[in-house]
Amino acid sequence: MESQQLDVNAAAPAPTAAATGRSERAKWLLTCPDPPAPWHELFTSIKDTVLPHAKTKHPRPNRPLLFLQGLFPILKWGRNYKATKFKNDLLAGLTLASLCIPQSIGYANLAKVDPQYGLYTSVVPPLVYAVMGSSREIAIGPVAVVSLLLSAMISKVVDPSADPATYLRTVFTVTFFTGSFQALFGLFRLGFLVDFLSHAALVGFMGGAAIVIGLQQLKGLLGITHFTSKTDAISVLHAVVKAFHQQWSPLNSVLGCSFLIFILITRFIGQRKRKLFWLPAMAPLLSVILSTLIVYLTKADRHGIKIVKHFKGGLNPISVHELTFGGPHVGEAAKIGLICALIALTEAIAVGRSFASIKGYHLDGNKEMVAMGFMNIIGSLTSCYAATGSFSRTAVNYSAGCETVVSNIVMAITVMICLLFFTKLLYYTPLAILASIILSALPGLIDLNEAYNIWKVDKLDFMVCLAAFFGVLFGSVEIGLLVAVVISFGKIIVSSIKPSTEVLGRLPGTELFCNILQYPAATKPSGILITRINSGTICFANASFILERILRSAADENNKQESGKGRLQVLVLDMTNVMNIDTSGIHALEELHQKLIARGIQLALVNPKWQVITKMKAAKFVEKIGAEWVFLSIGDAVDASLALKMTC
């Protein structure tokens, strides 16, 4: 009590003056101007989303050039491009190509299309991105997770082994939808859609997907002919165990595992000695060349080693006529396209942003989406499937010292040359090597460290992470995604429905009122209960819950105080956190006021926000509790309550 009186005296010399100050401050609150109308807010928000730079005016003559430079950043940086930069880009591009060629063939295998389509996807999309994209390090091409997504979801609609032609057409159609969605998201500035997968969900999803992809590689590694088309861990392991008894050919495993060990050793060396970064990057290509030679020389394919065999060379054929928009699967294709678009964007933007922040430049998410969208649309017309930014290859590109996106152009040209002249050489490449190359890229997708960080920081977030992980692993890719998104949004809704309330006390020597549990030093004034509603909104979904909570804490306080000093006289409700209220919320406050009055307790409202005080005035609630019981600060409310107590 002493410290409180001290404060009252410090704030104003006489009690009457204090009262004047209080009512003066309350007047500011009660006579505030009207907040902007909801239409206005909605309009501003849409305008901000669609036309973010409406305010910034450029001098006339530059505008078309600036627009073109915005759409094609190459026009901007291309002017200052120099030979020294090209030397670095050339080296990085060649390193990238050596990793990209075997990976592309492996991912095509994962996507259940012929190997050349993986290589096609490493030609056109990187070239389009080089013209439209703004990231300098990102390596464009097929990636493991998107390849898995495509094959897992399209397989349910069209069987790739029974009808490969229709399957391929569906893949191109899905790629077209993927690109269209991405471009639309970018054009309408819906970048925030990518945020719908929370960080934790993404970590879990990627980890689960990596294990699923790894399990799929058992087919190639063990040389199994008949495999399940399902992706969940149980079906795959069941198929593997079944195959073990029937058709296992151990030669494949020996070959695959030995080269997997070779690749992993080179990576270990590369991590130890930074100068040897090219060793792990070259190892996959080296493995392909070596193993192909071994198979060719020993005729091992006649002894059970599975090989790539058919491999069509030549440049990307046009595939416009392959797109089908009228068939029975078009709705399904659009749905798969939407999911692929979101996953591909999430991965690409995460990759692009993390390297951009290392080099200290900003990446506009919406512009990137437009670039990705056009690269996939044009890809779908030239026999490519959905491409995005690959994490492992981007890291190699960065370590190899790339300066600009020209390294992607170098890579694309190298892959093109390979398609034109060297495809015949890949006839004898064993499938087990492709599996081991994919397997070697997977550990990068499983981020145990980050999962541990999430556990440390937020246990509920970790639940989301686990749910996504197990959803992908034991359900399917879509189930994993769905579970993650539903839990993430469910968390938001649950925290809105069942908000907490806290009891506040005054910190000694200050005018600050804080949670007495968080700050054990805080003291409660007697006869007054100060509660704060920890919710951004009081609405239909939580109004009666909040009402019940406050009434219960008032009853608890009354019981406590009756046995002790005195009766509870004033309930101070701190509305600082409440940004908005709806009609159900106002009804609940009216009920609270009536019930408190019936128990002889006065209700005092503190610091209602702009929208809240305006709605309270409109609903005549301020009149009901009396304008003299609305305060700007808790200190004012407590002083007024103490003054009331003295007069009682």
Interface pick for a copy of itself out of 87, 309, 498, 599 (rule CB under 8 A)? 498
- Kindly tell me which of 195 and 623 has the beta carbon lying closer to a copy of itself: 195
Interface pick for a copy of itself out of 23, 235, 453, 501 (rule CB under 8 A)? 453
Is there a contact between 488 and 471 (Cβ–Cβ < 8 Å)? Answer: no
Residues 248-277 within binding reach of a copy of itself (CB under 8 A): none
β-pairing, 570-574 with 139-141?
unpaired
Residue 573 bridge partners (DSSP): 531, 605
Binding mask 558-597 for a copy of itself (x = CB under 8 A): ------------------xx-xxxxxx-xx---x--x---
Q: At closest approach, how far in Å is the CB of 578 from a copy of itself?
A: 9
Q: At closest approach, how far in Å is the CB of 328 from a copy of itself?
A: 26
Interface pick for a copy of itself out of 121, 147, 542, 561 (rule CB under 8 A)? 542
Side chain identity, residue 159: D
Residues 176-215 within binding reach of a copy of itself (CB under 8 A): 191-192, 195-201
Q: At closest approach, how far in Å is the CB of 90 from a copy of itself?
A: 31
Closest to 183 in 3D by CA, of 457, 450, 380, 464: 380
Site membership for a copy of itself, residue 37 (CB under 8 A): yes
Is there a contact between 471 and 484 (Cβ–Cβ < 8 Å)? Answer: yes
Q: At closest approach, how far in Å is the CB of 558 from a copy of itself?
A: 14
| Other residues' Cβ atoms within 10 Å of the Cβ of residue 391 | 23
Closest to 102 in 3D by CA, of 447, 443, 432, 446: 432
Interface pick for a copy of itself out of 540, 553, 624, 643 (rule CB under 8 A)? 540
Binding mask 507-526 for a copy of itself (x = CB under 8 A): x-xxxx-xx-xxxxx-----
The separation between the first and the last C-alpha atoms of the chain, rounded to the nearest angstrom, is 18
Residues 616-635 within binding reach of a copy of itself (CB under 8 A): 618-619, 632-633
Which residues touch 205 (CB under 8 Å, ≥6 apart)? 197, 468, 469, 472, 480, 481, 484
Interface size with a copy of itself, residues (CB under 8 A): 86
Q: At closest approach, how far in Å is the CB of 400 from a copy of itself?
A: 26
Q: At closest approach, how far in Å is the CB of 569 from a copy of itself?
A: 21
Which residues touch 571 (CB under 8 Å, ≥6 apart)? 528, 529, 531, 550, 554, 596, 601, 602, 603, 604
| Tokens 């591009």 belong to residue | 93
Is there a contact between 92 and 401 (Cβ–Cβ < 8 Å)? Answer: yes
Interface pick for a copy of itself out of 245, 459, 564, 647 (rule CB under 8 A)? 459
Q: How far apart are CA 411 and CA 89, in angstroms?
A: 10
Interface pick for a copy of itself out of 457, 486, 597, 627 (rule CB under 8 A)? 457
Residues 301-360 within binding reach of a copy of itself (CB under 8 A): 357, 360
The window from 140-148, 433-441, 542-550, 561-569 that contacts a copy of itself (CB under 8 A) reads 542-550
Q: How far apart are CA 406 and CA 90, in angstroms?
A: 8
Element (H, E) at 570: strand 570-574
Q: At closest approach, how far in Å is the CB of 164 from a copy of itself?
A: 39
Question: Phi first, then psi: what are they for 532, rounded to 5°?
Answer: -125, 135
Interface pick for a copy of itself out of 1, 83, 598, 648 (rule CB under 8 A)? 598
The first and second tokens of residue 322, run together, are 């392959």
| Tokens 């002889």 belong to residue | 600
The window from 33-41, 155-163, 332-340, 396-404 that contacts a copy of itself (CB under 8 A) reads 33-41
Q: How far apart are CA 550 and CA 531, in angstroms?
A: 8
Residues 99-138 within binding reach of a copy of itself (CB under 8 A): none
The window from 74-82, 134-142, 339-347, 495-503 that contacts a copy of itself (CB under 8 A) reads 495-503
The first and second tokens of residue 540, run together, are 């239909």
The window from 30-38, 137-145, 306-314, 475-483 that contacts a copy of itself (CB under 8 A) reads 30-38
Interface pick for a copy of itself out of 8, 32, 251, 257 (rule CB under 8 A)? 32
Site membership for a copy of itself, residue 537 (CB under 8 A): yes
Closest to 566 in 3D by CA, of 642, 452, 495: 642
The three-state secondary structure class of 572 is strand
- Kindly tell me which of 88 and 534 has the beta carbon lying closer to a copy of itself: 534
Question: Phi first, then psi: what are they for 530, rounded to 5°?
Answer: -105, 115
- Kindly tell me which of 432 and 588 has the beta carbon lying closer to a copy of itself: 588
